[in-house]
């Protein structure tokens, strides 16, 4: 089993940056695909970025490509999401998720979730 805890959210002005971190607790962290999702009230949770368990290949939704970077450190059981050039439409609760079957675009692919961290981007 894996337990996840996000941190690093907050309030930032448009154009600014934030770095989200996800601490994973569990012996099999390195074998899990990891993903970041976000959700705003009244909307479905959406995929933001994913990273696989092997060579660390990364994947992004189109709207964050070139602005967000996902990375993982298996020695520290952490996953990060560096967010640059933030826009008001990035405002959401961001969730870290772990998958035993590799990363995926659908939230149903993931087995473990963190509690979420709020990101608010002001205009």
How many whole angstroms from its chain centre is CA 113? 10
Is 30's pLDDT higher than 80? Answer: yes
pLDDT tier, 1 (very low <50, low <70, confident <90, very high otherwise): confident
- In terms of C-beta distances under 8 Å and separation of at least 24 residues, what long-range contacts does 60-65 make, across chains too? 63/89, 64/90
Q: Is the pLDDT of residue 37 over 90?
A: yes
pLDDT tens digits, residue range 80-108? 999 999 999 999 999 999 998 888 899 99
Mean pLDDT score, 46-63: 92
- Tell me what the mean pLDDT of segment 64-87 comes to: 96
Window from 37-51, 58-72, 101-115 with minimum mean pLDDT: 101-115
Cα distance from N-terminal residue to C-terminal residue, the chain: 40
Q: Which of 105, 120, 15, 95 has the alpha carbon at shortest distance from 62?
A: 105
- Using the predicted structure, report yes or no on whether residue 27 has a pLDDT greater than 80: no
């Amino acid at each position: 089993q894996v337990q996840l805890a996000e941190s690093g959210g907050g309030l930032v002005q448009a154009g600014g940056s934030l770095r989200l971190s996800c601490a994973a607790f569990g012996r099999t962290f390195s074998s899990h695909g990891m993903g970041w999702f976000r959700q705003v009230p009244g909307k479905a949770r959406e995929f933001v970025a994913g990273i696989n368990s092997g060579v660390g290949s990364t994947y992004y939704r189109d709207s964050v490509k070139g602005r967000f970077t996902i990375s993982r450190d298996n020695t520290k059981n952490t996953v990060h999401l560096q967010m640059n050039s933030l826009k008001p439409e990035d405002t959401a609760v961001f969730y870290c998720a772990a998958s035993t079957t590799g990363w995926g675009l659908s939230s149903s692919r993931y087995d473990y979730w963190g509690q979420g961290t709020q990101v608010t981007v002001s205009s």
